[in-house]
Amino acid sequence: MNTFALWLAVAGAGAITFALRLSFIALLGRIEIPVLLSRMLRFVPAAVFTAVVVPLLFYVDGAVEVSLGNERLLAGLAAVLIAWRTRSVPLTLVGGMGVLWMLQILGTSGI
Amino acid sequence: MTTTISKADERTYPPGLTTTQEVAHSRRDRASFRHGSLTSQLDETTPSPGAAFLSGAKSIIPVLLALLPFGLAFGATATGNGLSAVEALGMSVFVFAGAAQLAAVPLLSAGASVAIVLLTVLVINLRLTLYSASLAPHFKRLPAAWKGLLAYLLTDQAYAATITRFDEGETAEQDKRWYYLGVAVAIWLTWQVATMTGVAVGSWASEGWSLDFVLPLIFIAAVVPAIKDRTTGAASLSAGLAALFCASLPLNLGLISAALVGVIGGLAAEVIFGRSGR
């Protein structure tokens, strides 16, 4: 991506994000959230975050790989468990990285 | 330094914004208005703007510690994907939304079209409208410039750190803006410093330590609390399954397609289980 297109994307992303943030703070009293939109918005975090994570865990070199050799998938599942039990972002980060490093060490040492 | 001003009459909520469950709780304490109750006014001292600002900034410190690795990861991911330091910092200043920034970096690096990047950012940041709706009653009397400033600084963390306090009436009306500003400015500064640090250590971090794995970990830490019931679980599950098949869609449309499938899956689950299934 060339520099111009990149800055165009950054400026556009900034403008869109600001508009979303300002929306109801600016419009309060003038409009109401449409019911269907508010019902859809409720599912956006769970849907988007999952859609970001899944390819990063399951895809290895452009193909889905579900095996014990997929260290990122295993470490990711461990992180899900940690996040679920502790609800702590730092513990999830530290635990997930720790499991990944452990698996990589085990993998290279051939155990 | 300390002035006691009657604030009982300022705690009113507007009639609008009644359609979302998310903001419904802001009406919960309607019944608890303190109409000039002398005792409650004597109990509470009204801090100065500076004190409210500091109180907000202090309250957010634990969250800042969790935000640091996130910002570091963004800086490192950005440089790892070929963005310059100025471009990475530019994103942090203009966009100032971690999840969207992190999702945009691989797209920018893969040469996705500007439209795809913007669409992705739009979808990921849609949730900010919910926060905006929820905070709006608390900021409704502010001048436009204040609204603009507070809106620019609106993040998951700033929202989470202030809304409960505001809704429960623990912050005096005239202090809300300063308390929120203290929280939000601390987050903003931390994000910029963390981005710059991430850019600086990026080249070192990207070698051998697999620190790019922090990206999925951050989203895992975000998605788990977002799954609150069967319907949000269905949204996550359907988005995940769709993502497996959509990841190789052309034009990097995979993320948006999978997210859309997830939202539809959530709506479908709501129909199947009913609203009581939440």
Grouping H, G, I as helix, E, B as strand and the rest as coil, residue A69 is coil
pLDDT score, position B69:
78
Q: CA B107 to CA A41: how far, in whole Å?
A: 24
Tell me how crowded residue B94 is: count the other CB atoms within 10 A of its CB.
19
Taking CA atoms, what residue in A is nearest to B16? A29
Residue B26: HSE in the Cβ half-sphere, 13 Å Cα cutoff: 26
Residue B253: HSE in the Cβ half-sphere, 13 Å Cα cutoff: 6
Most B-contacting residue of A4, A16, A25 (CB-CB within 10 A), to test interface: A25
pLDDT at B241 over 70: yes
B206 neighbors B212 (Cβ within 8 angstroms): yes
Range picked from B13-22, B190-199, B217-226 for highest mean pLDDT: B190-199
Residues of B in contact with A21 (CB under 8 A): 128-129, 131-132, 151-152, 154
Q: Quick one: average pLDDT of B7-33? A: 38
pLDDT at B150 over 60: yes
Interface subset of A 72-111, CB within 8 angstroms of B:
72, 75-76, 79-80, 83-84, 87-90, 92-93, 96-97, 100-101, 104
pLDDT score, position A108:
73
User: What is Dmax (Cα atoms) for chain B?
Assistant: 66
**Strand partners for A60:** A63
Q: CA B199 to CA B203: how far, in whole Å?
A: 8
What band does B46 get if pLDDT is binned at 50, 70 and 90?
low
Interface subset of A 37-56, CB within 8 angstroms of B:
38-56
A1 neighbors B108 (Cβ within 8 angstroms): yes
Dihedral sign, CA of B151, B174, B18, A27? negative
N residues, chain A = 111
DSSP H or E segment with residue B211:
none
Grouping H, G, I as helix, E, B as strand and the rest as coil, residue A31 is strand
Could you give the ipTM of this predicted complex?
A: 0.82
Range picked from A47-51, B122-126, B188-192, B214-218 for highest mean pLDDT: B188-192
pLDDT score, position B252:
61
Q: What is the overall mean pLDDT for chain B?
A: 79
Cross-chain Cβ contact A9/B117 below 8 Å: yes
User: Given its phi and psi angles, is residue B16 left (phi above 0), alpha (psi -120 to 50 degrees) or beta?
Assistant: beta
Cross-chain Cβ contact B265/A47 below 8 Å: yes
Please indicate, yes or no, whether the overall pTM of this predicted structure exceeds 0.95: no
CA distance A78 to chain B (A): 10
**Percent of chain B surpassing pLDDT 70:** 78
Ranges of residues in chain A with a pLDDT under 50 are none
